[in-house]
Amino acid sequence: MVADSWIIELERIFAVMGCNDEQKIQLASFLLSEDAGAWWRSVEQSYPGVGQGTWAQFKSRFNNQYFLSHVKDALAEEFASLRQGNLTVAQYGSKFRTLSRYAPGYASTEADKVRKFIGRLRPSIMTSIILLDPETLTEACKKAEVAERSEKIIQSSRMASFGSKISAPPQKKQKVEGNNSVALCSTCGKRHAGQCWRTLEVCYTCGDPGHRQFNCPRLGRQPVGAPVRPPQQTQPSRQAAPAQNQWKGNQNRPQNAGRDAQSSRIFTLTRGDAEAPNYSGGG
């Protein structure tokens, strides 16, 4: 392909200079060097007057030496299976233009080249180019590059948005059941906050020092060594006195009753006596 590109570049120069076939052969043979120069000298020795031939004859001999027919066939097959795939649009376009030279039957016109170029793009880019309907291969390449840049911008924004969501994972709420969040005490073996009461010599019930839980005053227990108080007897109500203690008239009245008997009658006065119409309050 280097040899073929060299011939193409020479033909561009010849077109500008307006050279005839003899001049083209002279200039081309002058530029050959090293192995290529040795090859051309051997041709001149084998075929006298070859330098006065046509440019087409020179290219035929040159291609038979440096650009064999089976290489051209391989390049034509490569062009037939060419797809963008993981290539950039610029890489795909350059390869498409180079290989299309060796497969004239696959893309003989500009319209064929545009159609095949678009049809072998990645689907995400191809759909955008079809709507633009380019007319030349150069125009199709430029529009495909614009679509590729737009695709990269969209992908970058999506990745940035996705990265912001996963960069800070949500913190799980700690599940606390009872006092499981408090560590076990090394002194009493139970879960509690603050200093252990067992080390402070205090009551486990009220938290006061000077006594223990078994004789805590709040539980109604006497401290050890405290004097025992006799239980206080409540004085029965006079209204709840037994019936046989009530004085009724002068029956069984003691001699020294006196005024106490009268006062006792006051306390034993019933509601029926008070409401009697002839009651005067006397003895």
pLDDT class for 92, splitting at 50, 70, 90? Answer: very high
Confidence bin at 132 (pLDDT 50/70/90) = confident
Query: Is there a single domain that holds both residue 117 and residue 143?
Result: yes
- Mean pLDDT confidence for 164-185: 58
In a domain, 184, yes or no: no
Over residues 82-105, mean pLDDT:
89
Q: Which residue has the higher pLDDT, 169 or 228?
A: 169
pLDDT at residue 234 tops 50: no
pLDDT mean over 74-82: 89
Q: What range does the domain containing 40 cover?
A: 2-67
Q: Is residue 99 one of the residues assigned to a domain?
A: yes
- CA neighbor of 62 nearest in space, from 90, 87, 37: 37
When divided into structural domains, the chain yields a total of 2
Residue 136 lies in a domain: yes
Domain identity same for 126 and 148 = yes
Specify the pLDDT at position 140: 93
Mean pLDDT of 272-276: 53
The model scores a pTM over 0.85:
no
- If you average pLDDT over residues 117-131, what whole number do you get? 89
Can you give the pLDDT at residue 186? 74
Q: Do 12 and 28 fall into the same domain?
A: yes
Q: Do residues 20 and 82 share a domain?
A: no
Q: Enumerate residues 6+ apart whose C-beta is below 8 A from 190.
A: 184
Query: What pLDDT sits at residue 43?
Result: 87
HSE (side-chain half, CA atoms, 13 Å) at 283? 9
Q: What percent of the chain has pLDDT over 90?
A: 18
**For position 265, what pLDDT does the model report?**
46
User: In the prediction, which pLDDT does 251 show?
Assistant: 47
Does residue 27 lie in a domain region? yes
Q: Is residue 41 part of a domain?
A: yes
Q: Is residue 221 part of a domain?
A: no
Phi, psi of 135 (to 5 degrees): -100, -25
pLDDT (0 to 100) of residue 216:
77
Lowest mean pLDDT across 1-10, 31-40, 162-171, 198-207: 162-171
Inside any domain, residue 185: no
Q: Which residue has the higher pLDDT, 169 or 129?
A: 129
Residues 47 and 78 in one domain: no
Q: CB neighbours of 59 closer than 8 A, spacing ≥ 6?
A: 7
Last residue of a domain, one of 159, 180, 206: 159
> So what's the pLDDT on residue 72?
83
Note whether 47 and 83 are same-domain residues: no
